[in-house]
Amino acid sequence: MKHIEIVTIGNELLDGMIVNTNASYLCQQLKALGLTVSAYHAIPDERNVLKRLLKRTLLESSLVICTGGLGPTLDDNTRQVAAEIFDSGFRFDDGIAAALRERYGNDLASLHNQATVPAKAIVLPNSVGTAPALIFEGASVTLILLPGPPLEMHAIFEQSVIPYLQVRLPEIGKRVTEYLILAASREDEVDPVLRELQETLPNVDAGIYAKLGSLTIALSTFQEDAEARRELDQAKQVLMSRFPDRVVFTKRGKIEEDIQELLIKNNATLSTAESCTGGSIAAALTAQAGASQYFLGSVVAYSNEVKKRLLGVKQSTLDEHGAVSEEVVIEMARGALLATGSDYSVAVTGVAGPTGGSDKKPIGTVWLGVASRHGIALTWRLKVLHGDRAKIIAYTVNVALCRLWQTVNTF
């Protein structure tokens, strides 16, 4: 049984400025490799704290992964501390330096610093930022140092660390992971089904990744084992039959990708009309490279005036039914089709709070609509209970994307 610990480094983790997505990302990635993390830690940029914790975790673990503290600045101690523990000197890496010069030119102040690496470390280039990742191989333990910025860390982990681990820890075996998304589902509804699957299909490792408003089910098994692959297909079938109206087929668990692929395949265009989500649906969709091939634009109609001016929502509809109503969301969705000329549109209007709730329409009441040029207009009423503003918005975005995919995939 491997003992794996993660050490996340950075003062910003401890003053509550950010949530620790690096730790959860690494836990998730390792789980997909069939590895379970035993513990993770968050500590400030203090070399003595880091050194003490690293020494202890290295003694107790077979794999330790650190994030943060690899930059060129004063409080970046990780390289130095790791080199001391592994009794390593430093060398100047011409390859890293050349790559940095190529990308940043000669005026990168931190070039010499970032290209100076521990002599005993394996160096993994950073294709996004400046700090390379480093691997120290001890007799019974491996230490992997990754940069803190998530974009850089993700790129290096997926490009270099996973292949490295598959060689270094052969007992992992190459694994394949397939994903399903379940719209508007709660963990406690799906968890019993997964427990069942784990008994009937022992070769399939199932993970639930709960987002507000959707669950991503990751089913992984051994790539080269035909029987295991059959079990994985069975597991998918079971989930599809248990939750028929909620399933979104997804390549990588990233529904924005699936929506883009589907609309481009159908040669169709999309727009959004957003009130309470404030542009978050459009932002999620356009975060994908190539979104301009199908996404035309969005009207974020926060005030009623803008709903009327840009989406043609009728004053009478607002008066009769209120801004948060099925009638208004349909006018918003149809208005987006007209305003942008798109084939499909998704619209939302709701009460995100913390004020503006009423007995009839409490905070968390959201109307969602999907319309098409051919006249279809489907609506859903969401009730996001016990949610603060951020939760209500995130929940609405995820459900909207799922329902959009399902509508385009069906009609």
Residues 278-297 that bind a copy of itself (CB under 8 A): 278-283, 285-287, 289-292, 295-297
Report the nearest approach of a copy of itself to the CB of residue 227 (Å).
23
**From 116-124, 205-213, 243-251, 258-266, span contacting a copy of itself (CB under 8 A):** 205-213
Stretch touching a copy of itself by CB under 8 A, among 163-171, 224-232, 260-268, 271-279: 271-279
CB 372, CB 388: distance < 8 Å: no
Name 63's bridge partners: 4, 142
303-322 residues in contact with a copy of itself (CB under 8 A) are 303, 305-306, 309-310
Least Å from the CB of residue 251 to a copy of itself = 14
109 lies in the binding site for a copy of itself (CB under 8 A)? yes
Q: Are the C-beta atoms of residues 135 and 142 closer than 8 Å to each other?
A: yes
Q: Which of residues 76-95 bind a copy of itself (CB under 8 A)?
A: none
Residues 4-63 close enough to bind a copy of itself by CB under 8 A: 11-21, 23-31, 36-44, 49, 53
d(CA 152, CA 293): 27
**Total residue length of the chain:** 411
185 φ, ψ (degrees, to nearest 5):
-120, 150
Q: Which is nearer to a copy of itself, 292 or 410 (CB)?
A: 292
Tokens of 379: 């609506």
Q: Is residue 150 reached through a cis peptide bond, with omega within 30 degrees of 0 on the bond before it?
A: no
Closest CA to 68 of 128, 14, 19, 11: 11
Query: Which of 120/345 has CB closer to a copy of itself?
Result: 345
Q: Does 128 bind a copy of itself (CB under 8 A)?
A: yes
CB of 94 to a copy of itself, least distance (A): 20
Structure tokens at 340: 């942008």
Dist CA 198 CA 365 (whole Å): 36
Contacts to a copy of itself from residues 320-359, by CB under 8 A = 339-341, 353-356
CA 145 vs. chain centroid, Å, equals 22
The DSSP symbol for 271 reads E
Min separation Cβ 230 and a copy of itself, Å = 23
Site for a copy of itself in 132-161 (CB under 8 A): 149, 151
